[in-house]
């Protein structure tokens, strides 16, 4: 981040708060360029669905690692008829760390790409 004066998000959901603070403290150009992202039942579907659309529109892709593809392929949703809500998660016993980091990265791409100063050196 320091090299490119980039902006980005760090997930903050309790245990990650200290990681957010550590990253923010290491940024030496603009502390506000490191923003917290809190994953909630409301924010998670938004970033997951935005990522799905960007994959479908070929705005983003994967530079082939089998474990990344595997984690994306097993990531699932449950629709609750009573609440009319969708819950996204990995199946029991599997991880969704890559999917969530990718979704937050995609969210940063969508929301922060016009921040900062960019130039060709």
Cα–Cα distance list, 40 to 21, 43, 44 (Å): 20, 5, 6
What average pLDDT does the structure give for the chain? 89
Look up the domain containing 25 and give its range: 1-38
Answer yes or no: is pLDDT of 13 > 90: no
Strands 76-80 and 85-89: antiparallel
- Same domain assignment for residues 91 and 108: yes
What residues contact 93, with CB distance under 8 A and at least 6 apart? Answer: none
Q: What is d(CA 111, CA 35) in angstroms, rounded to the nearest whole number?
A: 11
- Asked if the structure places residue 119 within a domain, the reply is no
pLDDT of residue 120: 52
Q: What is the pTM of this model?
A: 0.84
Count of domains observed in the chain: 2
| Structural domain contains residue 33 | yes
Same domain, 50 and 108: yes
Is the per-residue pLDDT at 121 higher than 70? no
Report yes or no on 118 lying in a domain: no
49 and 28 in a common domain = no
Q: How does pLDDT run across 31-68, given as a tens digit for each residue?
A: 888 999 999 989 999 999 999 999 999 999 888 789 99
Shared domain for 57 and 98, answered yes or no, is yes
Evaluate whether residue 121 is within a structural domain.
no
**Residue 61, by phi and psi: left (phi above 0), alpha (psi -120 to 50) or beta?**
beta
- Domain match, 33 and 45 both: no
């Amino acid at each position: 981040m320091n090299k490119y004066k980039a902006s980005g998000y760090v997930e903050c959901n309790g245990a990650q708060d200290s990681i957010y603070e550590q990253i923010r403290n290491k940024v030496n150009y603009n502390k506000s360029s490191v923003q917290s992202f809190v994953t909630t039942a409301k924010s998670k579907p938004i970033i997951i669905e935005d990522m799905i659309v960007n994959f479908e529109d070929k705005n983003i892709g994967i530079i082939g690692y089998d474990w990344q593809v595997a984690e994306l392929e097993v990531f699932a949703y449950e629709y609750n008829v009573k609440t009319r809500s969708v819950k996204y998660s990995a199946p029991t016993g599997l991880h969704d760390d890559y999917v969530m980091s990718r979704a937050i990265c995609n969210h940063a791409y969508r929301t922060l790409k016009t921040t900062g100063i960019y130039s060709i050196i």
